[in-house]
Amino acid sequence: MSQLCRVSVIFELDNASFEDFPVWSSRLLGLMRWVSLSVPPEAVEFIVVHVGSSAIDDLLATLPDELASRVVMLDLDGLPSNYYQMKNAGAQIAKGEYLVFLDSDLVPVDGSFNDLLRPVEEGRYVAACGQAFFPTDSFLERCYAVFWMFPIYKFAETMGKQQFLASNAVISRQWIIENGLFLQVGGFKVSCALMSRKLKDRGHSIAHPDVWFRHAVWSTSLRFFIWRAMVMGRDADKKLAYGTPGAMSVRTAGALRSFKQDIARLFNRHLRYGRKVGLGPLGCMGSFFIGVVFFTFVRSAQLSAALRSVSSMVELIPERYIT
């Protein structure tokens, strides 16, 4: 890899497990081409982190020569390899001045890679995140689009000011060297919140440029809906307990307080944006009910976790959802 490398783009194939090879490989190729529109080939490296996948040879065969020559494959077969561990492993071998984390289930819709990179490259921020959103083609997708933590497409105000999305993020490599990688505290998707907290504690805000990615809904099954809610609840307890004494009373109160906030947030988002994502009056009522059910599962799982010692168990995607 050239010494001129300025940008390291790290893809982990953890999320690719939800899709068949033609789907995720096409998205990965699209992301590489999107990056290449803004960055000269000699200034970028693509690091693909995977776990013993037989599809890697097929992936390399589908890439045009000008992209394949910039790709570094990192196989973590036999090593710890959850979502954040894969990102960390890619960051540890990266050569670029700027580390870019892109998930394999994203499709760039609005904005350029240069728009995403610019706030960090200009030195105004040490971290930037674009806006990942769910599509609104079906009723269930519209429900997820409104109740999930992602911003709603075209409504940037629905993105939290200090919200960090590891699915599409740029971080200064120097800051990573000085402050550390994504924290490994168990759970499923805990480190986004902890990275946001770390940046804020060190006096940094997060840039949110007008760059939008469509994010596939992982699964529309009821079993997945319940599992994802339960794992989100267990994650919420870990986030609350991390860096504090983790007293059960504090964690229990946090779960109850969060449920009240969930209902207020659901009501406000449905009231303000329900029709804008294609939900009519009856659709808004149905979607609101589904959101209440989802967060009832979330906070029930959080409350259950709060009544026990803090778990450090790593949550993995169940085999039944892996294609």
Higher pLDDT, 301 or 16: 301
Q: What pLDDT score was predicted for residue 321?
A: 84
Confidence of residue 33 (pLDDT cuts 50, 70, 90): very high
- What domains appear along the chain, each with residue ranges and CATH number? 7-130+165-215 (3.90.550.10), 222-321 (no CATH)
Of the listed ranges 67-76, 191-200, 245-254, 290-299, the least confidently predicted one is 245-254
Q: What pLDDT score was predicted for residue 1?
A: 45
Confidence of residue 246 (pLDDT cuts 50, 70, 90): low
% of the chain with per-residue pLDDT over 90: 80
CB < 8 Å & 24+ apart, contacts of 52-60: 52/77, 52/78, 53/13, 55/21, 55/25, 58/21, 58/25, 59/21, 59/25, 59/28
Burial of 84 (0-12, 13-18, 19+ CB in 10 A): buried
Q: Is the pLDDT of residue 284 over 90?
A: yes
Kind of pairing, strands 71-75 and 44-50? parallel
Q: What pLDDT score was predicted for residue 100?
A: 98
CA 268, 270, 274, 280 torsion: positive or negative? negative
Task: From 105, 95, 47, select the one nearest 75 (Cα to Cα).
Answer: 47
pLDDT in tens, 99-133: 999 999 999 999 999 999 999 999 999 999 999 99
Which phi and psi (to 5°) does residue 34 adopt? -60, -45
Provide the mean pLDDT of the chain: 93
Is the distance from CB of 76 to CB of 50 less than 8 angstroms? Answer: yes
Dist. CA 225–CA 305, nearest whole Å: 19
Longest alpha-carbon distance in the chain = 58
pLDDT in tens, 184-193: 888 899 999 9
Q: What pLDDT score was predicted for residue 2?
A: 44
How large is the average pLDDT for residues 292-299?
A: 98
